[in-house]
Structure 1
């Protein structure tokens, strides 16, 4: 509009209209053009005027809608305040008294109207965030494909080998791959959405509870499923009633029956969700007890006529228990998905798969449980209508400035700093672990390993995390530099050993004398490198023990790395034969045994006469094997074959012999003398 107005003004004031026509013959044409232009300008003016009127009408409607929305917000806020003030007051008669329902609508009409309205709001939420919905769908589809293809491959491989492995460690995905993926990813995918309507969250939670019911049906006993099914029916009814836009006292008896039914199921349950980890069983038990407490209080409030309070406690109780079970499966299934993605390219036996699964579960469990607890507490506070109050109070407490000397700080900045540093530490530790798993998988290709470079990656993550935490918490870096400078004096005197180990760790990272998975000897310690840390490294000894070696010792002591450039290993045997043996034949027999596919052809095996011993002629047998991992098995096989070959061909393997010559026995001589002294009569 503004552009058209300025254009018309520029046309009216154009100098073209001030020109004088000298040629009178052109005057009629000029006049005609001027009149035509005036008509067009008048038409444009009228069109602009109509558009301005239309815009004014739309603006008026918009203002009216904004006023109505504000009035509706005020009404909702006033109703909420009134409800909060009267929540502990008696709203309806006691349960034993006669009463009439103060509502003109039936419970069914209220239910259908609420469902219809909330379903529209749900679709509006999806339409408003199409990008988040598309991204979520793509993530689910890709994960479906990866999980199902991996499960088929693992099942086929283990059926061919008849050995348990990765597939045997999968519990929920094995029977329910599609449902498991949805249940394992949905709590995280919901974080992609900006939830504007309560209906969106309600329908999402109800869908997750239904999917969890299918997993329970396929993985647990029928009795457990039946009890869970009763709880799900009550949960769905409570969830639908929580969407009502008006109070319906008709549902009072339904709530009372539902509460008593769930209490009977929970109190009578003897078989709980079992887990290899005691903490998870305790968590389910604790949530169960909390649910019982909420439902008992809700039942008492219902009997005493506090209907709104009873409804809030009932919904909070049953929802907290149902979603705690959903989050339990979320932690389990997501752990299985990550385990599958890591192990799908590895050829591992049952024991290795079991150990890897336990370690991955241990590392991921803390992170996933923290996420699950956060989601569960947020939903519980929302169901109790305490989320805004708690969040407001917590925000006010965290953002309040406090003074310590001349410095000001807030608890929010301190917690943010500590949380980001802890998060960077978790990320660094888990990244190093998963890289070590990858290095173990490609142990035959040392050039592809990251090895001790993991230490640099860990230090990089920790350093970046520290600076991000300091920046996010608004901590001046110059003050951090002053503190570090002050600490350097104490570090120089009291922490020399620790600093030495830290610097040694950096040297190990850059020089790479050892890699994760290498077989090394340091002093009297022998084993496989499991982890190269910032201060110390871990060596997994061949007897299963884990040895923590300071990085300084790895550099100060003589270090033998059997697998620095390759995994080949030379095996040496000393074989002794009797002096009367045919030495040429012995050498031929040993050389024949060394013609083994597991023994390398180059360098070729050697058989040397080594030594003339006290009772044997010693032969030195040398041969190479391709991998350090099999040298003991090959050595055992070669020794057995040599022994059997010698036995078949009559070659004697001597052993120490001693001849004993008895000159006299004092006791025997003494007894003979006593017999000679006796009389003949005796």
Structure 2
């Protein structure tokens, strides 16, 4: 009983203690952890303020990224000036409507239209940035926590520092956005307005060009002998028109050069590379004191400071880098080129030809002057009439009275004939009122003759530059000076002539005002899809494929010239270079083939089908061709023999002259060239005498009298052999006794020759030296 009461007393005490602990825990515990989680805390408000600050801080970054707007505005101001001039010129009536001016206006308007399109693209990027930051700001303004802080007095007092900072950032961001948006809208409206004007001017110019094309063979004006209605233009008005025309031409040219300078960057780079290429070759040859070796090349246009040659090259290539340049650019570059050519050919032409060339320069210069003057049509026709007559007389003089000077220039004589015919046609068209056609034919005649002369010098400059590269490389590698200049010059001249003909045709068709039409027609024809079975292709892709293959083949064929290797025996000993060139040629062919496939747009899956079909043909009749091709690749990379090695393949022995994709060539000691298919080369045992080195062991037998003192003879003969500089010093010569009779002893001298190709020469030299030594020692030789 006593124990039960004690247990109850302890239990009551325990419950009381637990109750006190529970009350104490309730007082100290944070009941918010288990309260309503939607009630924002101070931390939530601060996080929201931080997000707002980050959004507003983006505004200066976004508006600062629109820095290109300032440059765009400057360019638009320049374009405004050009557009104003073009509008004035297109509305000037007869003064600005000749064919050359219309072509220039069309080119400038195309450039302006492209510039406006680029500006619109840039503005769209700017617009996306502005819209993005505006959307973030709108989302920020809808934030409920920020709104609650502004509406609740207690919260506003609690977060007053953050609110002050927020207001400051808001004012700054709002100001930046207003200014940027206003500038952006103004600029966008400016670009849109200019785009509309340019489109209208393009439509007007295209219409005038179409009218010219339609009416070019029709009578546009009265006959030249018919009286003109109205009085003459006052002198003051003509002077004012001249100044205005010249100023407009200059401003249009400046604007064109400003917006198309990137087109000529590669032209400048080409000129600089050519200059330093020629300069380096002269410099390296001079350092080797081998300048006399260049005399055999007969260089006429190159010198150690090739300023004129570089200008001829750059100005000749100028039309290729800017196909749609304005008339003033073409006229300026062509006139500069003709002046430089005049300096170059001054001492190479007879006095009669050179004086005639100077007269031609004067007639050439009169054409742009008449165009820039903006003369009334009747005066312009009479000036062109006089120029046409003078041109016909000049050409006829050279074709008739001085034909002996042109016998060496067949192509030039043909172009002079074309010059006379075109000027005669221009004269007739001018007389009978076909003014536009007269302008076209006259300009074409002048530029055709000028281009022919300048491109003739251009071709010679290119050929001489390559010949200089070949000779300087040979001097640096210590090859012989002489090589087959005539054959190499012919092959290089063919390549340069192809490029010159392309340039000539571009300028010729541009002056005839048919370049754009031909370009459009050819573009349609070459883009037209054709199909053969299930394979679709275009002529453009086919031409690209064949063109790239031709270029790759040309490069692999002539790349050796850059390293002085012209295919002669001089480079046989440089086995490393020839092996690298062989691999380079193979890589060029493979890369050219892959690039041709990629550029042509031919479907790869169809090509695999064709290759699968070819495999059947291979199984039927092309085994030997494929075998030779694969064997050629194995020879190139496995290298059991190299160019310049002396080998024995079957019953053939000689030096490897060439390793091709299909066959290899051996040069025998008799000078014959043995062409062996690569499959046959690998199918035979190959004895390579010079695979690891060029050493060859030589054995010389001698029969002498038996009474010779061998103890003195051996060291004497060893010294005689070692005295020859073609004997390998680190391999000691050996003297071996052979057959011994009652009266004679056979001696065999073994030594190593440094160059396998000189074994016979060295053996003869050593044999003669041994005989002399034996005579000195009074030893008889049988």
TM beyond 0.5: yes
In the alignment, which residue of structure 2 is the partner of 1:144?
275
In the alignment, which residue of structure 1 is the partner of 2:624?
497
Determine if the alignment matches structure 1 residue 517 to structure 2 residue 644: yes
CA distance in 2 between partners of 1:138 and 1:474 (Å): 31
Helix, strand or coil: the match of 2:676?
A: strand
Q: CA deviation at 1:502?
A: 1.5
CA distance in 2 between partners of 1:67 and 1:103 (Å): 38
In the alignment, which residue of structure 1 is the partner of 2:558?
430
Label 1:288 to 1:6 Cα distance change in 2 as closer, same or farther (>3 A). Answer: same
Label 1:557 to 1:111 Cα distance change in 2 as closer, same or farther (>3 A). Answer: farther
Give yes or no for contact 1:217–1:225 (8 Å, CA) kept in 2. yes
Of stretches 625-634 and 372-381 in structure 1, the one that deviates more from structure 2 is 625-634
What aligned pairs does 1:22-421 form with structure 2 within 5 A after superposition? 61-91=190-220, 104=233, 116-130=247-261, 133=264, 136-155=267-286, 157=288, 164-165=293-294, 168-174=297-303, 177-188=306-317, 191=320, 197-238=326-367, 241=370, 248-264=380-396, 266-267=398-399, 268-272=402-406, 283-347=411-475, 352-355=480-483, 357-358=485-486, 360-421=488-549
Q: CA deviation at 1:78?
A: 2.5
CA distance in 1 between partners of 2:502 and 2:681 (Å): 43
CA distance in 2 between partners of 1:350 and 1:230 (Å): 49
Q: CA deviation at 1:508?
A: 0.8
Label 1:105 to 1:605 Cα distance change in 2 as closer, same or farther (>3 A). Answer: farther
Label 1:509 to 1:626 Cα distance change in 2 as closer, same or farther (>3 A). Answer: same
In the alignment, which residue of structure 1 is the partner of 2:604?
477
In the alignment, which residue of structure 2 is the partner of 1:627?
755
Label 1:17 to 1:177 Cα distance change in 2 as closer, same or farther (>3 A). Answer: same
Determine if the alignment matches structure 1 residue 559 to structure 2 residue 686: yes
Helix, strand or coil: the match of 1:172?
A: coil
Label 1:96 to 1:351 Cα distance change in 2 as closer, same or farther (>3 A). Answer: farther
CA distance in 2 between partners of 1:133 and 1:302 (Å): 37
Give yes or no for contact 2:629–2:662 (8 Å, CA) kept in 1. yes
Of stretches 577-586 and 173-182 in structure 1, the one that deviates more from structure 2 is 577-586
Give yes or no for contact 1:259–1:314 (8 Å, CA) kept in 2. no
CA distance in 2 between partners of 1:342 and 1:290 (Å): 38
Q: CA deviation at 1:550?
A: 0.9
What TM-score does the superposition give when structure 1 sets the normalisation length?
Answer: 0.77
Gaps of 5+ in 1: 275-280, 655-682
Of stretches 519-528 and 2-11 in structure 1, the one that deviates more from structure 2 is 2-11
Residues 431-478 of structure 1: CA deviation (Å, up to 9, x unaligned): 4675793998886665x4461x65554444334433333333332222
Give yes or no for contact 2:471–2:564 (8 Å, CA) kept in 1. no
CA distance in 2 between partners of 1:522 and 1:155 (Å): 44
Of stretches 421-430 and 635-644 in structure 1, the one that deviates more from structure 2 is 635-644
Helix, strand or coil: the match of 2:690?
A: coil
Residues 20-43 of structure 1: CA deviation (Å, up to 9, x unaligned): 43699x89x99xx99x979x97x9
Of stretches 641-650 and 600-609 in structure 1, the one that deviates more from structure 2 is 641-650
Q: CA deviation at 1:149?
A: 3.9
Label 1:623 to 1:198 Cα distance change in 2 as closer, same or farther (>3 A). Answer: farther
Residues 138-165 of structure 1: CA deviation (Å, up to 9, x unaligned): 55445434422431442464568xx535
In the alignment, which residue of structure 1 is the partner of 2:728?
600
Q: CA deviation at 1:111?
A: 6.7
Of stretches 377-386 and 517-526 in structure 1, the one that deviates more from structure 2 is 517-526
In the alignment, which residue of structure 1 is the partner of 2:674?
547
Q: CA deviation at 1:480?
A: 1.8
Q: Which has the larger radius of gyration?
A: 2
Which of 595, 600, 604 is the equivalent residue of 1:468? Answer: 595
Query: What is the total number of aligned residue pairs between the two structures?
Result: 637
Gaps of 5+ in 2: 1-129
CA distance in 1 between partners of 2:231 and 2:699 (Å): 97
Residues 566-624 of structure 1: CA deviation (Å, up to 9, x unaligned): 23344454556688998888877755643133433222344556568999976544443
Q: CA deviation at 1:492?
A: 1.6
Give yes or no for contact 2:655–2:668 (8 Å, CA) kept in 1. yes
Helix, strand or coil: the match of 2:213?
A: helix
Give yes or no for contact 1:335–1:360 (8 Å, CA) kept in 2. no
Helix, strand or coil: the match of 1:346?
A: helix
Q: CA deviation at 1:47?
A: 9.4
Q: CA deviation at 1:263?
A: 1.0
What TM-score does the superposition give when structure 2 sets the normalisation length?
Answer: 0.68
Give yes or no for contact 2:312–2:340 (8 Å, CA) kept in 1. yes
CA distance in 2 between partners of 1:249 and 1:96 (Å): 11
CA distance in 1 between partners of 2:452 and 2:470 (Å): 27
CA distance in 2 between partners of 1:650 and 1:233 (Å): 90
CA distance in 2 between partners of 1:394 and 1:210 (Å): 35
Give yes or no for contact 1:586–1:651 (8 Å, CA) kept in 2. no
Of stretches 2-11 and 312-321 in structure 1, the one that deviates more from structure 2 is 2-11
CA distance in 2 between partners of 1:552 and 1:72 (Å): 69
Helix, strand or coil: the match of 1:270?
A: helix
